Structure 1
Amino acid sequence: MGTFNTFFSNEKSNSLLSATSKTGNSFEDVNQTQISNETEYIIEGVLNYVRASSTNYAVMLNGNWGSGKTYFWKHILRSRIEAITNENEEKMRTVYISLYGVKSIEEINKQLFLEVYILKYKKIKEIAESKAGGRLTQTAKSLITVAKSFEFPVLDKLLDANFTIDFENLTDFKNIVLCFDDLERASLEITDILGYLNNFVEHDNVKVLIISNEKEVSDRLNSRNYELKMITAILASDILSKPNANKKHPNDDSPDTTSVRQEIEDNLRSIFNKSDDYKRIKEKLIGKTLTYSPNHEAMIKHIIDHIKDKELNGFLNENLDVLVSTFKNSNTHNIRVLKHAIVDYSLVFQETSKKFSEIDKTILLDMLIFTLAVSFEIKTGGEGSEELENIDSNEELQTKLMSSLLFNEEKPLFVNFYKKYYDDTNKYMYFKFIEILVRNGVFNRVIFEKELSTVASSYANKKKPLHLRFLQEGYWTLSEDEFEEVVPETYNKFKQGEIHLAFYFNGFRIFKLLSKKRLFNINVSRIKEDFLNGLDLVLQKQEYYEHLDTTFLGENLNEDLDTMLVVEKIEKINKKLYEKLIYKELHRLFQLVPDNLDQFYIKLRNQYSDTPIFLESEIELISQKLISLSNPDIIKFANAMKDRYSFYRTRLKNDLEPLRLLQNKLNNYVASNQLTLRISLLEQLSLTIGKICNDFETRDVTN
């Protein structure tokens, strides 16, 4: 998707937003009234530390991942520090060092040297600031190469990997505040870094600010030598002496097992946290720890104000309350994910404005909510986020939500997604093209245009057809008159094969439920027959539905015999629809057997690796072709089948029944002929096909 520069004004490539607003005012000027008391307390705490004439400690700014700590430093705290002057009217300077991926103290030394000395020179500073990130390992070499042209003789030796220099003794940190970010992401030992920083504050009275996520620091330190620590924790407890300690399966999450695990983890923290080197060094180095909790509303407003596109800027400002409430509903407090979500939505907004310029703003708002919601869930590993990938459309999501409510079944995890971000006023809660964009970073224009054409058409008609409201939103949402009208109308559509195949499963269950509640005066047995007959008409009127499996996701398909029969019929009809769709293509494929087998195998691997290729109607012809193969080609075909079905692919399930028929054909041929080498090889091919079917069915059950 490129850089953030596409969407945000006045920004450098190492920062999402600039430090100035469109009017030229600093962030602190335009947002001073929006800074919370807690944030102002942090600012004053740091400023008092900087103003103090003598300090021998550092200050730590602690906060969760993605909470905006770095943003806070760059856009608020830094400018406030640089506004301070000493008794000689000299302004304070700040130096920012990212420790991300740093592998040695030497790297930090070099970066400090470059920042404090070389970056004094304007031209080199401009070049350096155009580089992303601030890591010496990536930036320093390019900076040094440029700087050499400005006649810095000492730099010639810096590029020599074997040359080391005591940079600490070359630098003067008077009137400078050093900010070290990403402590928890350094590749170097954290205790070594803290020991190194202690030299600055203890001996040179340098002002040092450390930005980190202390929880991640602690987790990282405690994860070292985890296996040995775990053994120690277990031996230090009395768990092994408990009579039932070993009776549970290790993966059993029953209360007993959970309590055992908790006791071990508590022991682990108790033993090793107390003797942690990090705490010892921190107590010596860190004089004050300030925990950053941002004013999210002010920060979101500032992000919006720096969007270039005036139309998008205006739309987001109009719906600022939606952004803030969705952000709060996510309970992630993650500004970084929010920024990425806004970038993704910027693309959605721009493409929609080009292709569907007259689209209703309500749809734009629905897409905004979904982009934010799905970003928070996917990028923070929210519960049920993986299930969202299996949903194909908004209609499917609504049908599943209605089904889980109507039939009181165990709710799929994505129901939590709905409850978290939506209420009954939202019409569109799922956009497949946005889910793909957020998850994979790909803007699928085909799905985008198809999906929004449907949505735009629905809004243009203003009213969803009554039978779809009945099937997707629940019969209880209808008025008395609507219910009386829609029930017989929808039932007749099912009988005539006019309702989409994907609705037949839940449609049957709804009418069955209404019959039991005496709200529909046809008995269940008759309903079943009418639905089965209607499915026969679907075969004549509809096309293959590729995502039928997702229709059954999380549903109880075995609640009774009638339901099972309807499900089997739905799958059978869809399989026949597929055969109608693919018949000519697969017929041409098997025309390559036996005369052009190499081309057959190439197409099998490249074009049909995830596509069923065996049709029941063609098994007689295919069996004759296999029987006519030469001995070497029989073995080659058997190996090709092994390779094809060695990995479980749900879509290949449609090959199973035809393969069983093919195996029977081969068995009959082998049984009716005298044993020869070719007959023996055909028998082996039959056994291979049987094993493929057995293995596939076993995996299908376990999945």
Structure 2
Amino acid sequence: MESIIEILPANNSEKVLRSYLETETSYALLVNGRRGIGKTFFLKNKFLSQAAKVKVYHDQSKYYKPVYISLFGLSSMTEVYTLISLELLPFLKGKTIKISMGIAKMFIRGLLQYKRAGNIDDFLKDISRISKSALEMKELVLIFDDLDRLPDTVSITEFVGFVNSLVEHDNNKVIVIADQDSITDQKNYLAVKEKTIGTTVEFTAAFNDSFDQIVLEKYKKAGFEPYYKYLLELKPMIRELFQAAESTNLRTLIYFLQIFDKIFHDVYYELQLDQNDPDDLNRFKLQEIARFAGSVCIEFKSGSISYTNTQGIDEVAAINAQLTQEFLRKAFSDNMRRLNDSATSKEEKENEQSYKDAFVAKFYSNKTYHFYPSIFRFVTGGDDFNKNELLADLKEKIDDRRQKIYRQDELLNALGYPQCYDLDNDELRKLTAEMYELALQGLFSLDRYLSVFHFLERFPEILAYDPKEVTEKLKAAVREHAANFFYVPMLKEHFDVKQEQKNYEYFKDLFLVLNEVNEQVSKEMGCKNDLDLFTAFAQDPDSFYKAAYEQYSDRPILATWDFDAFYSRFREMTNNQLRGFSNFLKNRYLGYEMPRWTEMEFFALLKEKLNDKGEGEPTLRDMILEGLKEMIDQILQKPTLDALKMLNACNFFSNCAT
């Protein structure tokens, strides 16, 4: 039998399926599509109700009765009859309903396998009296879902043969749902498919229709009006995230809606969004939460990340994903991170780096990215949602002053390439002047000031800014507003202006001041917080690891600790706590960071302590400590970050001199 292929979105699939019911057929119809795309949701929530309104082709006085059966988890074909029988029970409980002999045979065969069916005679007492009102097989629309999940205990040939007997001998309407590429027994499936399947509908989900239907059924009708209204408002952003990931998986969408439901209701009143005129900043915070939760949900459900494997997205600095100049490079140097690694390690690091970059670029194009540990743990199943932790993160990361930076992002994006070429002269002058004014107030992050300068010095025929005057004013503004800035890790890596570029000397002059202020911010932050970090380690190691990963990746925190005080706490740690500390050192100094010169003494002292082995039979603790010692040996053999920085600085200033 020739197969007719139709590639249709959900709304057109409905027309094809209806046409199948209204036409004389002797074949089954296959709805094919990737797992999770929404085939089952569409059939259950839209088509079943529509099918029940279609008149039976062979008897226009009756309407079709759809029967939905999932093949997932079956152990034998006999269970198919049982499931059909159980689905028919609601139709047969009416006193006036009679059944034909064809249904009776299937019904008896199924119920005999199901001991909890009750008194079968109550349903079959009129089986011998066939009348015009009897329920016949031709009235049924049998929908078999999850053909691709049919277990090995059920032969694909046997099942398709069963379907063929229904459609060929009795002209029954049978719809099969599957991801046919995932069917294990492809050889036998393809051999019997042509004889049984007449039309294959290649199903593609229509996001808008599916989204509207899901939120209507799950939230509006359930009485969650505020959440339902906010989801409609959030719909364009959610669609954007799924399109960016090239995902049409409705299971992932539903998972996100369930996850975000909990978060939304926990922070809704805290952010005062129940007011008639909620604060714009709080609305922004909620959207920030939704974007991060949605991004992590998509990647988690695709298997790209997990609770124990962040793929490095927790290490990404809070930076704009699309930097507006070619000379603003990513914050971390791949070459530096891969030094001294094995070939396998190099490949892993390259993949990790590319994944981090891809994640931010995919979901945060032209937007500032923040990592929220409380949401990540909740989405990936590592912990219940911690409202207080999230609210504290929001307060720290998106306060009133930092919120202003988002206007700066908008300006840089509007003035960036190629968008700037769509501006007329008046728009270009207006946006550039606004950017300049905000820069002089110290409201850009340090890594954006080179972009600001470039946008001022270009197009001199139209803008007419003096590059020397601009440089001096920007330098003075950065120094004056030093207290406004957050530390930017590896800022030196952002400089890639070529000597042949116009106004190179001014770029270099401004960049030296940016680094001067950045180091000043780093020093002030470090002096204040190093003692707090040791307190965190001594009292709650997990809080220490969290702070070290998120805020102090570029500081030699171990160098400032009193080693005796550390070792006293170290000896009291449980085996699991020792493993946690070992993982911290591995991730920070072997996988992510390199030791600072000033930290080497700490590691040397710890190695010396670990060399003092006890006598007697080895214990689990001994094995953990031995593994820790081997790791510290590797750390001590690595080059230090300070030495590499010094080499880079020498190269940088050497290039400047030439």
Question: How high is the TM-score relative to the length of structure 1?
Answer: 0.58
Q: CA deviation at 1:90?
A: 2.2
Please state whether the residue corresponding to 2:30 is helix, strand or coil. strand
Please name the residue that 2:35 is paired with: 65
1:370 aligns with 2:292: yes
Distance 2:260 2:164 in 1: 45
8 Å CA contact retained: 2:445, 2:485? no
1:379 aligns with 2:301: yes
Please state whether the residue corresponding to 1:364 is helix, strand or coil. helix
Distance 2:299 2:326 in 1: 21
Please name the residue that 2:16 is paired with: 45
The gaps in structure 2 that reach 5 residues or longer are: 1-6, 96-109, 124-134, 273-278, 335-352, 407-437, 457-468, 534-543, 586-598, 641-658
8 Å CA contact retained: 2:329, 2:496? no
User: CA separation of 1:100/1:513 partners in 2, compared to 1, >3 Å: closer, same or farther?
Assistant: same
- Cα deviation code 1:330-354 (max 9, x no counterpart): 3222222112112222222222213
Give % identity.
Answer: 19
Amino acid at match of 1:418: V
User: CA separation of 1:65/1:106 partners in 2, compared to 1, >3 Å: closer, same or farther?
Assistant: same
User: CA separation of 1:383/1:327 partners in 2, compared to 1, >3 Å: closer, same or farther?
Assistant: same
Please name the residue that 2:205 is paired with: 294
- Cα deviation code 1:74-100 (max 9, x no counterpart): 122112211123436222111110011
1:415 aligns with 2:415: no
8 Å CA contact retained: 2:478, 2:514? no
Distance 1:182 1:89 in 2: 32
Q: What are the residue-to-residue correspondences of 1:469-508 with 2, within 5 Å? A: 469-473=444-448, 475-477=450-452, 484-485=472-473, 487=475, 490=478, 503-506=488-491, 508=492
Residue in structure 2 matching 1:81, options 51, 65, 71: 51
8 Å CA contact retained: 2:53, 2:63? yes
Please state whether the residue corresponding to 1:61 is helix, strand or coil. strand
Q: What are the residue-to-residue correspondences of 1:551-570 with 2, within 5 Å? A: 570=554
Please state whether the residue corresponding to 2:26 is helix, strand or coil. coil
Amino acid at match of 2:386: N
Please name the residue that 1:634 is paired with: 615
Give the aligned CA root-mean-square deviation in angstroms.
5.0
Amino acid at match of 1:574: I
- Cα deviation code 1:388-429 (max 9, x no counterpart): 6533377435489789961377773333333333443x3456
Amino acid at match of 1:113: S
1:643 aligns with 2:558: no
Please name the residue that 1:101 is paired with: 73
Please state whether the residue corresponding to 2:318 is helix, strand or coil. helix
8 Å CA contact retained: 1:42, 1:292? yes
The gaps in structure 1 that reach 5 residues or longer are: 1-35, 124-138, 156-170, 223-275, 554-566, 591-599, 647-651, 653-688
Please name the residue that 1:283 is paired with: 194
8 Å CA contact retained: 1:70, 1:181? yes
- Cα deviation code 1:272-330 (max 9, x no counterpart): xxxx3222200111111122223321222222334232222222223433333333333
Distance 1:460 1:523 in 2: 23
8 Å CA contact retained: 1:512, 1:527? no
User: CA separation of 1:117/1:624 partners in 2, compared to 1, >3 Å: closer, same or farther?
Assistant: closer
Residue in structure 2 matching 1:444, options 367, 373, 386: 386
8 Å CA contact retained: 1:178, 1:207? yes
Amino acid at match of 1:439: T
Please name the residue that 1:176 is paired with: 140
1:608 aligns with 2:578: yes
1:576 aligns with 2:559: yes
8 Å CA contact retained: 1:105, 1:193? yes
Residue in structure 1 matching 2:236, options 318, 321, 338: 321
Amino acid at match of 1:75: N
Amino acid at match of 2:37: S
Distance 2:511 2:452 in 1: 23
Distance 2:505 2:547 in 1: 31
Amino acid at match of 1:366: E
Q: CA deviation at 1:528?
A: 9.0
Structure 1 range deviating more: 328-337 or 206-215: 328-337
Distance 1:42 1:533 in 2: 63
Amino acid at match of 1:177: V
User: CA separation of 1:287/1:463 partners in 2, compared to 1, >3 Å: closer, same or farther?
Assistant: closer
Distance 1:387 1:639 in 2: 25
Q: What are the residue-to-residue correspondences of 1:663-682 with 2, within 5 Å? A: none
Q: CA deviation at 1:154?
A: 10
Distance 2:167 2:263 in 1: 49
8 Å CA contact retained: 1:397, 1:430? no
User: CA separation of 1:486/1:419 partners in 2, compared to 1, >3 Å: closer, same or farther?
Assistant: same
Structure 1 range deviating more: 394-403 or 193-202: 394-403
Distance 2:498 2:94 in 1: 78
Distance 2:564 2:470 in 1: 43
Q: CA deviation at 1:197?
A: 1.9
Q: What are the residue-to-residue correspondences of 1:185-584 with 2, within 5 Å? A: 185-187=149-151, 188-217=154-183, 220-221=184-185, 276-306=187-217, 307=219, 308-357=223-272, 360-381=282-303, 389-392=311-314, 395-398=317-320, 406-407=328-329, 412-424=354-366, 426-428=367-369, 430-440=371-381, 442=383, 443-458=385-400, 462=404, 469-473=444-448, 475-477=450-452, 484-485=472-473, 487=475, 490=478, 503-506=488-491, 508-510=492-494, 517-519=504-506, 539-543=526-530, 544=533, 546=545, 570=554, 573-577=556-560, 579=561, 584=565
Amino acid at match of 1:542: N
8 Å CA contact retained: 1:514, 1:520? no
8 Å CA contact retained: 1:183, 1:211? yes
Distance 1:177 1:444 in 2: 48
Question: How high is the TM-score relative to the length of structure 2?
Answer: 0.62
8 Å CA contact retained: 1:377, 1:385? no
Q: CA deviation at 1:485?
A: 5.0
Amino acid at match of 2:376: E
User: CA separation of 1:643/1:198 partners in 2, compared to 1, >3 Å: closer, same or farther?
Assistant: same
Please state whether the residue corresponding to 1:326 is helix, strand or coil. helix
Structure 1 range deviating more: 361-370 or 89-98: 361-370
Distance 2:16 2:84 in 1: 25
User: CA separation of 1:525/1:142 partners in 2, compared to 1, >3 Å: closer, same or farther?
Assistant: farther
- Cα deviation code 1:604-648 (max 9, x no counterpart): 303332226999579889979987x8xxx43457873433454xx
Please state whether the residue corresponding to 1:74 is helix, strand or coil. helix
Q: How many residues align?
A: 497
Distance 2:236 2:610 in 1: 67
Please name the residue that 2:411 is paired with: none
8 Å CA contact retained: 2:30, 2:178? yes
Please state whether the residue corresponding to 2:265 is helix, strand or coil. helix
User: CA separation of 1:289/1:622 partners in 2, compared to 1, >3 Å: closer, same or farther?
Assistant: closer
Distance 1:622 1:693 in 2: 7
Please state whether the residue corresponding to 2:66 is helix, strand or coil. strand
8 Å CA contact retained: 1:100, 1:185? yes
- Cα deviation code 1:476-522 (max 9, x no counterpart): 0467598655545656999x9x976x63522x445796999423676
